[in-house]
Amino acid sequence: MKIGLDLMGGDFAPLAVLEGIKLSRELMTPGVELCLIGNINFIKKNHNEIYKDLLKEPNISFVNAADIITMSDSPTKIFSQKPDSSLCLGFNLLNSNQIDVFIGAGNTGAMMVGAIYTVKAIEGVLRPTILSVLPKFEGKFNIILDVGVNSDVRQDVLFQFGLLGSVYMKLIHGIENPKVGLLNIGSEKEKGNLMAQAAYALMENTDKYNFVGNIEGYDLFFDKADVIVTDGFTGNVVLKTLEGVYRIIRKRQIKDDYFKMFNYENYGGTPILGINKPVIVGHGVSTPIAFMNMIKLAKTVLENKMVEEIKTLFTSQINI
């Protein structure tokens, strides 16, 4: 398998990505190759030591990206204005089968745009989505999706998030028949805003996954569900609220094994679920450990043929 990495994506790139690769030696099992996409001049100039080290590795190759994306570039215009950026080249390599998975911690919006315009949504998937991880008090964790790319959704989109999340938990984390819950403001079916009520009505009778009803805010950290479905607005607010809590836990110098798991580094990134090729999106502030965990996740996604499984599910039932 050939794993492509955007060396220039993320607040601490390219150094954090390069160091993450160095941490990933154990993941470089036979057959695993890395294709590193970045501005070679910039890397040589700033990180020549580590660049030369990596050049020596037989299963690592570099692709030069002449364009560099800056904060002032609009995520939606990168493809027309910076076609030789690492982000655009990565998606083109993925789309032309020169890499099998693409990892990037650049702007999430730009990663979504890239994914949708190159490898495209799987037929039948209304809105590709991203997820995040919430550690459970009892051990293991929940996933929540969407967490920011689909702010305005319809009930059928929420319904599909349940299916996408369910497949992810089963294939990537080995949870048989994952419990799918709908994030809501009460436990009864008639609770919530109009969208949640309509989504509940679609979910409650499905045989496509194991719907367990509404999940309230205080259930997010407990074993009431494995997959928690919500719109990208609510999901993003929840995610960032918990980032705020984690910042305070650190500022207050609280050492606790449970809250330690709120450190996103442990999870690396999120796959974009519902597109035709595997893509892993990292957090903007990704560290070397986060990049190592993204490489690990990319391998698991490929080994378990996650994309193929989702394609099969959706092409066999276009009209869900």
Beta carbon of residue 153, minimum distance to its own copies (angstroms, whole number):
9
Give all strands (DSSP E) within the chain, no chain letters. 2-6, 33-38, 60-64, 101-104, 131-135, 141-145, 179-183, 210-215, 227-229, 269-271, 279-282
Among 33, 156, 219, 223, binds its own copies (CB under 8 A): 219
Q: Which two tokens stand for residue 209?
A: 């996954």
**Closer residue to its own copies, CB minimum distance, 62 or 233:** 233
The size of the interface with its own copies (CB under 8 A), counted in residues, is 40
Stretch that binds its own copies, among 6-14, 79-87, 91-99, 242-250 (CB under 8 A): 242-250
Q: Which two tokens stand for residue 45?
A: 């100039």
Among 15, 27, 32, 237, binds its own copies (CB under 8 A): 237
Are 227 and 143 a contacting pair, CB within 8 Å?
yes
How many CA atoms lie less than 13 Å away from 194 in the CB half-sphere? 3
Residue 192 near its own copies by CB under 8 A: yes
Region at 213 (left for phi over 0; alpha for psi -120 to 50; beta for the rest) = left
Residue 111 near its own copies by CB under 8 A: no
Residue 15 near its own copies by CB under 8 A: no
Residue 148 near its own copies by CB under 8 A: yes
Among 76, 151, 312, 317, binds its own copies (CB under 8 A): 151
Cα–Cα distance, 28 to 9 (Å, whole number): 22
Cα–Cα distance, 9 to 36 (Å, whole number): 12
Residues in the chain: 320
Stretch that binds its own copies, among 113-121, 249-257, 280-288, 311-319 (CB under 8 A): 249-257
Beta carbon of residue 150, minimum distance to its own copies (angstroms, whole number):
9
The binding site for its own copies (CB under 8 A) comprises 137, 148, 151-152, 183, 185, 192-194, 196, 216-222, 230-234, 236-245, 247-248, 251-252, 254, 256, 258-259
